[in-house]
Chain A
Amino acid sequence: MKFSLAEWGNQLHSGERTYAIVPKRRMWLTISALALLACVVVLFVRGLNFGVDFTGGNVYQVSNTANPDPAIAEEVIAQFAPEQEARISILGDDDIRVQIGVVDVSVSRQIEEGLAEGYGVDQDSVSSDQIGPTFGAEVGKKAIQSLVVFLVLVALVMTVYFRAWRMAIAGIVALIHDLVFTVGIYALIGFEVTPASVIGFLTILGYSLYDTVVVFDKVRENTENVTSQHRYTYDELANLALNQTLVRSINTSIVALLPVAAILFIGAFVLGAGTLKDISLALFVGMAVGTYSSIFVATPLEVTLRDREERIATHTKEVLDMRASGKSDVVVNEDGQVRVGALQPGGHRGQGAQPKRKGRK
């Protein structure tokens, strides 16, 4: 049978098909915790590969050269800054990028002139980036400041909005999970960390929560009147919300990732290294992780926390007791699982469905 996302969505909505994410939350949370631990270990063992913006140094970029030969750049560096080891790369078709350590301003100018002369271009075609060794630390410090302020504010906003601080906690844990995971992947693969990547990491903040808020909003809607019914437990309704928003999560993630992927492609393969590539790479990884966490971390954690609330614990017990005594009118699937789904109200079937008068054709 042809797979249709719409039909899959229907089945998830009605509860005909369910993925037991909340019931198996112990497993998912353990997996996530282990992955997180691995990330932290990798982070400490391998460390991050900080770019020139964090270590300090000079980067030159010559655009539109007629002959992108790295040897010319090597010669120029050997002439003006012989103690420096040059990292030279070719970007696109005709751009040359040269990276060296910290040199004096006057030396830097000589190198610029030398490169312009060597490649036979106007000096205006040479871009240079001179970074002091403290700049990266400064960016990093501000980033961490922003992070802390943001977390506090978001915790307040979410607590007010959802009227449940446990939801805020779960959302923020998911957020931290996304950040650590993304940074861990950076450490593992050895992607270069630049201020632009830091922008990317910080943007994950907003996006990861966006996703989480969408799922939580559905959880809240489904469980709004949870204690006034005794058909389903809080856990089951939360799991239903998760399944019902699955299509939405997938769609929003794909749509958000598409433009990021476009920038990543252009940034990495056409422009070479630079702001665009660094931002989009961090975002690409972060958004993918964010989608995972909004499903497999945020909601399971939220349910774990909410189950500690006395009101919900009592309610869960009552529902299960009723089920055991057979007073509950829940539909039980063949595999013995209770089928949880959106309830369908009875509908009008039209005049045609009414009984016909006898003797009338």
Chain B
Amino acid sequence: MSTVVKGAKRALIWLGVITVLLYSILALGVLMDKTEFTPGLGLDLAGGTTLILKASPTDNTTIDSSDLNQAVEVIRRRIDASGVAEAEITTQGSDTIVIAIPGHPSDRTIDLIRQSAQLQFRPVLLVGDPNVVLDPSATPTPEASASADPTVSPDPTVSPDPTANPSAAAGESVTGPTASPTPEASPSPEPSASPSANPAPVPGETDPSSYDWLTDDLLAEYKALDCTDPANQGGRDLGDPDAGHVACSTDGTSKLAMGPVELDGSDVKTATSGPEYSPGGTLTGRYEVVLDFNSAGATKFSDVTARLYGFYQADPTDPRAQFAILLDGAVISHPSVMAHITGGTATITGDFTQQEAAELANQLKFGAIPLDLTLQTKNTVSPSLGTEQLEKGLIAGAIGLLLVVIYSIFQYRALALVTIGSLTIAGVISYVMIALLSWGMGYRLSLAGVAGLIIAIGITADSFIVYFERVKDELREGKSLPASIDHGWSRARRTILASDAVSFLAAVVLYVLAIGSVRGFAFTLGLTTLVDVLVVILFTHPVLVLLSRTKFFGEGHHFSGLDPRQLGRSATYKGRGRVVTPEPQAGEASGLTLAERKAAAAKGSQTNGEQK
């Protein structure tokens, strides 16, 4: 067996190994119930709604990818909170967010998604257990102390119900694990089991830390709120900025009742995270978040911290020493104020991991640079239209494939079998690749992607044509078939690689820069270009090498598509002095042989001589 044949067989074995391996991975995924055997379909084929949002900053700052990712996080939380299942949110380019939602989402959901993020700072009034407070069982003592209250509050609309206080005390075990982060230096000491001193009499209606904000309605809402429900952890409504509000922390470990909004995202300049340093300048091994306010924010924050620090000095466990930071109505942090901060720079410390600190800083930053999300398009495809489009797309593909096959048979006769085989292999590999990518990176096949696959049939077949024509050229020059294949391949391979590289480059550029359905198309086009290279090297060429050893192709049968007689060669040298000479044909094309050239030269010098 010659080395060429050995190499060809080895290539085919490699191809088999790769294919079997890919399908085994997919089969494994299917068996483990992690994926399906069919690739995931985009919403234009499966039915559903696609929203394309463009994020633009409300002021003249620029947005970067971390802002965009943060926006995606916020949108994801909003969608999850609205109870829509399986929404897929992706970013495209530098400022585009694509949201795919199965079915018909309500207008409310869409409005919810579109609104920009709201960062709010509210003073905390109560911190409590996340569970629903059940009146008869859970709050016997509060009721008792409640009787003392009316004496405190003459205002009938305000009821600083101490029910809250005991429950806050009961929730102490909960605030413990949250390790509520505290500004400056060390984390706040855990509140002791004893409830804090009775709330001071109402200092004034405008004081945001006043219990006056706890109206009966709000207290009822506070009691009823279930912060173990993930829907509530994602943020409820934003609440009236000028009234009290209750909300859950994002981790669901506590619920809070708060006063009116004192600062919002427009007051924050930026937020950063980093390792914490002790006053001595050494690393403490913990992480902190540094919050920078702008000048207006610094003034407001100074007032707030002055007041809250007062509570802290009176009683470090007083929940009113904390302020809550809300993003989209969910409490992302509620640190205690441990200093009067006048400089406009606050440091939030606590038991953060690096990741947690970074996330908090991002959330604050995102709230500080509110992105305006404008709805670019909303595209709803009914499941029936999607199915119809997929069906018709596949029919178009089948017709296209058939036409290519017919044309190749007409052009290349038996050689078309190699084309058909290569296309089949390319299809088989492309399919498993798309199914795997659909599993691995959540790729969804869209209608544009299907179009890309169909168009790829032609472009893949083109590389076979380039190769076959090359081999024919070599045959025309009088080489034997194995030599023609050998020589033609080294030439054609270069051409195929160069043109495929250009195609792939186009696909990558489109995928990276474009938005919308262009990406799905670029993706399949790029993928099939790679598959094309694989198939040409590991299938088409080895198969041709092996076929050239057969009698049918090797001797140039009339229907083999590699018949030297059709290619203008009257004789082929078969080696060992044997020459295959078929019947000479009339009007046969003759090349520029040595004899012709000599005759021409002789004629040339003759005419030259005559001129002299």
User: Which A residues form the contact surface with B (CB < 8 A)?
Assistant: 1, 4-7, 9-11, 13-16, 53, 61, 63-64, 95, 105-106, 109, 112, 123-132, 134-135, 138-139, 142-143, 145-146, 149-150, 153-154, 157-158, 161, 195-196, 198-199, 202-203, 205-207, 209-210, 213-214, 217-218, 221, 244-245, 247-248, 251-252, 254-263, 265-267, 270-271, 274-276, 279-280, 283, 325-332, 339, 341-353
Contacts and interface: CB of A to CB of B under 8 A. Distances in A.
Chain B interface mostly:
helix
Contacts of A124: 47, 103-104, 382-384
Contacts, number: 329
Contact of B376 (A7, A132, A196): A132
B451 A275 contact: yes
B35 to A, nearest CB: 26
A213 B502 CA distance: 9
A263 B447 contact: no
Nearest to B412: A251
B514 A259 contact: no
Contacts of A257: 458
B378 A347 contact: no
A267 B93 CA distance: 29
Contact of B518 (A14, A95, A198): A198
A130 B51 CA distance: 9
A344 B593 contact: yes
B451 A280 contact: yes
B495 interface: yes
A349 B469 contact: no
B52 A329 contact: no
Interface string B472-484: 1100111000000
Contacts of B513: 142, 145-146, 149
Contacts of A5: 411
A7 B568 contact: yes
Contact of B393 (A214, A276, A325, A348): A276
Given A127-B385, A203-B521, A344-B591, A351 B514 contact: no
A142 B579 contact: no
Interface of B: 44, 47, 52, 54, 93, 96, 103-104, 107, 110-111, 374-385, 388-389, 392-393, 395-397, 399-401, 403-404, 407-408, 411, 447-448, 451, 454-455, 457-459, 461-462, 465-466, 469, 472-473, 476-478, 491, 494-495, 498-499, 501-503, 505-507, 509-510, 513-518, 521, 525, 566-568, 571, 573, 577-579, 581, 587, 589-594, 596-598, 600-601, 604-605, 607-608
Nearest to A331: B600
Contacts of B461: 255-256
18 contacts: A14-B476, A105-B107, A127-B380, A157-B501, A210-B499, A218-B495, A248-B465, A252-B466, A255-B407, A259-B397, A271-B388, A271-B392, A275-B447, A275-B451, A330-B597, A331-B597, A331-B600, A350-B581
Contacts of B379: 127-131
B384 A199 contact: no
Given A14-B592, A142-B515, A203-B521, A262 B509 contact: no
Contact of B507 (A7, A161, A206): A206
